[in-house]
Structure 1
C-alpha cells in the first residue's frame, strides 16, 4: 500500500487524526501490513522477551477478540480501531487476541508510538480519565468557536467604575460621586451589619422627585440589599443567566480580594446583541401571549447555537429553563390571576424543576394554594387556560397529566401534604414517580415557603422510615446499562436499529440515584449537579467520583441534546434514542467509559441502600 493510503487511513482514526500532516506522514511511513487468518491467536506480553507486544495494531479489515489473563473476553476490534496500547504503556502485563474474522492490520513499532506520547492530544487520549477527556473535548469545540462572546469572561466586558459609600452618605454626595465616575449606581456598605447593598440613579431620582426627600437624606434606606455579584473570571454566559434569573440590570463584579466594578446589562447586550441578549429582552418586553410565540422560536435557535459553540449542556439548560420560567410568569400575568392566587406558589417539576430540560418534551407543573384560599370559584377554569396557553406556545402536554389543570396538582398546602403522606405510606409505581417528580419541584413565582413546608413532610417521613429508601431506589437498577460484559455498546433489540436509549441506559440511573441520596441526606437543591456537589461536601461521594459522575451526566445529556436537535431538524418528535452509527469513534469510546461510570454508580447505590435485598 502507498503512503497516501496509510495517511488516509490514519486520518479516520482518533486521536491520531489530530496530528499534523508532517507527523502523520512520519507515522504512516513506519506502518507495515500484517495478515491474520481466521482463528489466529496472538499472545501479547509486556515482557521484554515478547516481540509481538512491541507493536500497536490498527485493524484495517476483519474482527479480533481480546481476552484477559482469566480468559474473559473484554472487547472486539473491527475496522478503524486499534489494540495493544495497554501493553505498550505497561497498563497490562498479558493479553490474548483471537481472530474471529480473517483480518488485515497495520502495525506500528513501539518506539514510534512512544514518540507520539509527547503530543498532549495523544498523551491525554491514552492516559487521562473520562473527566479530563470530556473537558478537553469541550475546550477544543470552544477554541474552534472562539468568536462566541458568551464564552468570554466578565473582565473582558466594559465595566462601570466602582463607587462605594456608607449608609449615612447623603443623596447629594452620592450623586456627585456617581457623576464624577460616570456611573449610574453606588455600592452601599452597612457598618453595623457588614451587609452590602446597591442604590441606582433611578432610586435617587425617585427619592427626590416622588418621595420629596432632601439631598441630605441618607442613602442607606434606599439601597437594595444584598447585592447580586459575579466573579471577574466567570463566563459572560453566567452573568447573563444571573441577570435573567433575578430580573436585574446590573451585577457587581468581584475579584478574590474584593469588589472591582459594575457590569451593566446594556454593555453586556452590546457584546452579543444578536444572540442570547435579544431573547432575554424579547421576554421582558412581551405585552401579550402572542408576543411570546416568536420568543419560543428564538430559544430553540439559541439552544442549537450554544450547543454548536461547545457550551456545556447543563449551562445551556440553566439559561433555557430560566427563560422558560420567565415565559410562564408572563403567561400567568397576562391571564390576570385572582388576588388570592398571588399568595400561592407556581411550580415546575421533574426535569424542568431540576433545570435540566433543554428541548421541550412535556409540561410538569403544579400550584400550591395557601389553606386560606380553598374552594376558589373559577380556579379550575384559570388553571385549564394556563395549561392551554402553554401548549399553544409549544410546551407539550404531559402524557401523565402532571399539570396544574389536574386537581391533583393544584391543591391547598394541607391537602398536598396529606397527598404526599398517602403516596409514601401506600407506595405504588405511580406514587414513587409522583414523589420523584415533586421532590424536584422548584418555584417559578409566589410564596416559596409553601413548597419548602411540603418538601419537609417528605424529608421528615423518610428520616423516620428508612425502610422506604431501598424500595424508592429500586428503579436505579431497573434498566440494563447498554454496555456488554465485553465492553461493547449494546443497541436496542426491539427496534432492530443501532440505537441506544440514553435516558434509560445512563441519564435516569444517575439522576434518580443522586435524588435518592439527596432525600436521605436532606438536601433540598434540585439540580443534579448541585446535588452531587452537596453530596461531595457531605462526604457521601468522593470528590474525584463526584466530578466524574457530573461530567458523565453532562456528556450523556450532550449526546441526547444533539440527537434531539437532529430529530427536530428532520421534523420528527424528539425522543431519547441515540443512533450509535452517527457517533465518531472517540465519542463511542467516551460513551463506553461513561456507561462504565454509570455501572459503578449503580453498584454504589445498590450497596448503599441494599437494593438487591428488596428486588
Structure 2
C-alpha cells in the first residue's frame, strides 16, 4: 500500500482526519503493517501493547475478565487507546479472524494526542461526548439552519415594555415610537404579559373601553417566552402547540430582551409546516382534514433530510397529530357530547414518539353517569376516518372502536385495579400503554382523575413494580456487532434498544408518580429528582436519539421502496460511524438494563 493509499485509508477513520498534513506524515512514518493468526492475544492485563491497532482485514474480539465478549472490531475499527494512555488494561483482545492491521507506535500516538486537541478530545472523552462527536462527524453534511439555528440567529424585535399601571393611551404612543404593534406589560413581581392589536380591537374597541385604563386591565398573562440561546426549532414547535403568533425572548437573567414573531421564524425555515397547521385549523369537513393530514409525511422527510434531531421531529409531528385528533373529534361528535368525554392517545402516540404512522393507540374516557352507548357509533367513525387518513389500525385492537377502550371513569378504575391485583403480561402491557396516555380532546380532567387514582393504587406495591419493570429485560440487546450481523442482516431496533429504554424509564416514572409522558422529558425529570445520575441520564438521551434516528431513516427508506414499514434496520447498510454509534448505544442500553434490574430487585422475583 502506497503512502498516498495509507493517507487516504486513515482519512476515512475518525479522528485521524483531524490531523494536520505534517502530523499525518509523522503517523504514516511510524506505522507498520502486521499480520496475526487466529487466537493471537494482542493485549491483556498481563500484556500491555506498545502499539495502537487499526484493522485492515479480519476481526478482533475484546473479552472481559469473566471471558464474555464485550466488543468486537472489524475493518477500519481501531483499539486500544486506553491501554496506551493509562498503561493498563482489564480486558483481553484476541484475534477472532486472521488479522491484517496497521500498528502505530505508542510514542507517536501519545505525541499526536498532545499535539492535536481534537485528536486528544476524542480518545479522552467519556462515552456521551464520544457519541456526540461521532454524530457531529456523521451528520455534519446534513446539518442546516434547522438543526443548529438559535433564537439569537434570527430577527428579534425590540420590546416595548411598560409598567402594569401605565395608561393604555401612553402605552400605545410608546409602542408607536418602537414601531411595533405589540406591548409588553411587566408586573411588580417580574411577570410579563402582552397586548396585541387584535386584543385592542376585542377588549377596547368592541367593548367601548376608555384609553385611560391601566394596561394590566386587558393584558394577557403570562407571556410565553423562550431563551435567546434556545434552538429556533423549539420556538417553532411552541408556536404551533399554543396557536400563537409571537413569543417573548429572555436572556440568562430572565430579562425580556425582545419579541420573536411567527413571520420571522417562517422566513428563516421556509418550510410548509405552518401551511399544514393552517389547513388543519381551517378544515370544515372530513375531506379537508384528510387532505391536510396527508402532508405530514412530506414534512417528516424534509426535516429528516435536513438533519433535524428525531426528538424535535417527533415533538413537531406530535403537535400536528394532536390537532388532527382534536379537529376530527370536533367534526364527528355532536357538540353536546364533546365535553362529556375525553379522547386520549396512548403508547408511542401518548409519548409523542410515533413519527411515522405505524398504528393507532387511542381510547375514550366517558364521565360517570353518561351512557357510553351513545358514543360508540361516533368512535367507530373516528377509527374509520383515522385509517383513511393513513393511521393504520392497531393489531391489538387498542382503539376507540373497541368497547374495551371506550368506557366510563369508574369502569377504567376497575380495570386498573384488576391490572394491578391480577397481573399477567397482557395486564402489564395494558397498564404501560394506559400510563403513557395523553388527553387530546374533550374534558381532560377525566384523565387527570384516572392518573391520580392509578398513583394511589400503586402505593407500597414494590412487588408489582418489580414485575412491571421486568419487561425491560424481555428482549436481548446485542453486545457486539457480530451478534447482529446475521444472515438476514436485520435487527429489530425497537426490541433491541428503543423498548428497553422506554420501558425502563416508564417504570421509574410510574414509581415516582411522574405525569410527563415523553421519554426524553421523563429522563430529565428523573435526573432532577436524583433518581438517575447526570452521566447516566446524558448517556440514555444520546443512545435514545441514535437508535431512533437509525429507525426513522430505515422507515423512510421502506416508504421510498414501497415496503411495509417496520422497526428493522439492515446492519449491512450502516456506515462505519453509524456502526460505531450503534455499538456505543447498545453498551448504554445493556448497562441501563443492569441498573433497572438492580433498582427494582428483579432478580428476587425471577
* TM tier relative to shorter chain: over 0.9
- CA 1:137–1:62 in structure 2 vs 1: closer, same or farther (change >3 Å)? closer
- Name the SS for the 1:107 alignment partner: strand
Partner in structure 2 of residue 152 of structure 1: 149
Contact 2:330/2:338 (8 A) holds in 1 = no
Distance 1:424 1:94 in 2: 45
Instruction: Decide which of 242, 246, 253 is 1:250's aligned counterpart.
Output: 246
Instruction: Decide which of 265, 269, 274 is 1:268's aligned counterpart.
Output: 265
The offset of 1:45, in angstroms, is 7.2
Partner in structure 1 of residue 58 of structure 2: 62
Contact 1:185/1:201 (8 A) holds in 2 = yes
Partner in structure 1 of residue 349 of structure 2: 352
The offset of 1:239, in angstroms, is 0.6
Distance 2:434 2:46 in 1: 55
Instruction: Decide which of 572, 592, 610 is 2:601's aligned counterpart.
Output: 610
Q: Does 1:281 align with 2:270?
A: no
Instruction: Decide which of 422, 429, 437 is 1:441's aligned counterpart.
Output: 437
Partner in structure 1 of residue 133 of structure 2: 136
Q: Does 1:430 align with 2:421?
A: no
Distance 1:95 1:601 in 2: 21
CA deviation map 1:405-460 (0-9, x unaligned): 12222222222222221222222222111110111111212322211110111111
Distance 1:15 1:543 in 2: 26
Q: Does 1:235 align with 2:235?
A: no
Partner in structure 1 of residue 553 of structure 2: 562
The offset of 1:171, in angstroms, is 3.2
| RMSD over aligned Cα atoms | 2.6
The offset of 1:583, in angstroms, is 1.7
Contact 2:159/2:184 (8 A) holds in 1 = yes
CA deviation map 1:111-143 (0-9, x unaligned): 332233243443333222221123234445665
Distance 1:200 1:608 in 2: 52
The offset of 1:38, in angstroms, is 4.7
Partner in structure 1 of residue 456 of structure 2: 460
The offset of 1:604, in angstroms, is 1.5
CA deviation map 1:374-418 (0-9, x unaligned): 3463x2111111111111111111111111112222222222222
Distance 1:435 1:533 in 2: 23
Distance 2:530 2:166 in 1: 46
- CA 1:125–1:119 in structure 2 vs 1: closer, same or farther (change >3 Å)? same
State how 1:60-99 maps to structure 2 within 5 Å.
Answer: 60-67=56-63, 74-90=70-86, 92-93=88-89, 97-99=93-95
Contact 1:567/1:574 (8 A) holds in 2 = yes
Partner in structure 2 of residue 213 of structure 1: 209
Q: TM-score, normalised by structure 2?
A: 0.92
The offset of 1:462, in angstroms, is 0.6
Distance 1:397 1:384 in 2: 12
Distance 2:272 2:354 in 1: 20
Moved more, 126-135 or 165-174: 165-174
- CA 1:535–1:76 in structure 2 vs 1: closer, same or farther (change >3 Å)? closer
State how 1:17-32 maps to structure 2 within 5 Å.
Answer: 17=17, 19=19, 23-32=23-32
Contact 2:56/2:75 (8 A) holds in 1 = yes
State how 1:196-595 maps to structure 2 within 5 Å.
Answer: 196-257=192-253, 258-375=255-372, 377=374, 379-483=375-479, 487-491=480-484, 496-595=487-586
Instruction: Decide which of 119, 126, 130 is 1:122's aligned counterpart.
Output: 119
Moved more, 499-508 or 230-239: 499-508
- CA 1:146–1:574 in structure 2 vs 1: closer, same or farther (change >3 Å)? closer
The offset of 1:324, in angstroms, is 0.9
Distance 1:352 1:420 in 2: 20
Moved more, 447-456 or 27-36: 27-36
Contact 1:362/1:397 (8 A) holds in 2 = yes
The offset of 1:500, in angstroms, is 1.7
Contact 2:183/2:195 (8 A) holds in 1 = yes
Give the total of aligned pairs: 604
Distance 2:142 2:569 in 1: 25
The offset of 1:25, in angstroms, is 4.7
Q: TM-score, normalised by structure 1?
A: 0.91
- CA 1:195–1:79 in structure 2 vs 1: closer, same or farther (change >3 Å)? closer
Contact 2:134/2:577 (8 A) holds in 1 = no
Moved more, 27-36 or 435-444: 27-36
Gaps in structure 2 of 5+ consecutive residues: none
The offset of 1:475, in angstroms, is 0.8
Q: Does 1:162 align with 2:153?
A: no
